[in-house]
């Protein structure tokens, strides 16, 4: 998401976020850890500092690039955004046919997207079904700690038909070792810790955003979650391709980053509403 163009109860959350505006540090925030420094490669992709990571930041150099094909009838188009997009023109995105959006809420345990309120509430207000995502940094704290931080800072859920379950963005590390210094078994344990904690907080199984290459390298292509957690696969090509982790099908597919991250739901609008309702 590098283009510059652009729960508790959902109502309560929306009012709260709108009231605080851009996220600022507060006395209740956990203390910041030492800032991680982006790698040279990450800097080339617009990640200038700790917290700047976004979904699919390395995808266009690790998967084949091809124009998106026309969507079959039983799909719904959407986008995902982060602070890189700033204030989004949601009316324009609706006119362009987008019907759902995922918004970066948090990263690690010390970053909150300063544009979260405008992006999360704005997408909802134009009629989109929206959700929040967390960029994982498994080397900085436990899965449970990060799941709690996410759930408390925008990643909540309510059965209002317009709020999707939170998503765990688990992918290439923009600050160092690809697998964050964890073994494959340790990574699987970290992911399980996050997912179990998130479900305890929200009652929902979080969506897992990843790609075949990273998941294979860093979890050993674990099949531990394919029966419980919806898959959001990243592959910039004309088809989702081979799915990671033995998932029998994908729920979301991120297929392009032009001119903003493009996503497709694997089903019609009624199924998207059903996912939102749990």
Residues with catalytic roles: 80, 169, 171
First to last CA, the chain: 27
* Contact (Cβ atoms closer than 8 angstroms) between residue 166 and residue 150: yes
Q: Is residue 156 within 8 Å of 198, Cβ to Cβ?
A: no
CA-based max dimension of the chain: 49
Beta strands in 70-155, from DSSP E residues, in sequence order: 76-81, 100-107, 111-112, 129-135
CA distance 273 to 240: 22
Q: How far apart are CA 61 and CA 41, in angstroms?
A: 10
Pairing of strands 252-256, 262-265: antiparallel
Q: Which residues pair with 208 in a beta bridge?
A: 168, 231
């Amino acid at each position: 998401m590098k283009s510059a163009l652009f729960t508790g109860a959902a109502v309560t959350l929306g009012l709260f976020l709108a009231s605080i505006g851009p996220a600022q540090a507060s006395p209740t925030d956990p203390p910041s850890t030492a800032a991680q420094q982006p790698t040279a490669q990450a800097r080339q992709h617009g990640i200038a500092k700790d917290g700047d990571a976004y979904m699919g930041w390395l995808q266009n150099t690790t998967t084949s690039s091809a124009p998106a094909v026309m969507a079959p009838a039983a799909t719904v188009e959407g986008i995902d955004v982060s602070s890189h997009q700033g204030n989004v023109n949601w009316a324009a995105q609706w006119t362009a046919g987008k019907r759902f959006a995922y918004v970066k809420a948090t990263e690690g345990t010390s970053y909150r997207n300063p544009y979260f309120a405008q992006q999360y509430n704005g997408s909802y207000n134009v009629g989109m079904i929206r959700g929040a995502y967390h960029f994982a940094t498994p080397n900085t704290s436990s899965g449970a700690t990060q799941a709690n931080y996410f759930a408390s800072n925008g990643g909540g859920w309510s059965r209002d038909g317009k709020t999707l379950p939170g998503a765990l963005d688990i992918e290439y590390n923009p600050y160092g070792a690809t697998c964050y210094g964890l073994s494959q078994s340790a990574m699987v344990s970290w992911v399980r810790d996050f997912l179990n904690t998130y479900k305890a907080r929200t009652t929902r199984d979080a969506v897992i955003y990843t790609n075949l290459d990273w998941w294979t390298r860093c979890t050993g292509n674990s099949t531990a979650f394919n029966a419980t957690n919806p898959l959001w696969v990243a592959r910039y090509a004309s088809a989702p391709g081979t799915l990671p982790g033995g998932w029998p099908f994908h729920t979301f597919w991120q297929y392009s980053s032009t001119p903003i991250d493009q996503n497709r739901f694997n089903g019609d609008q009624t199924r998207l509403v059903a996912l939102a309702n749990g």
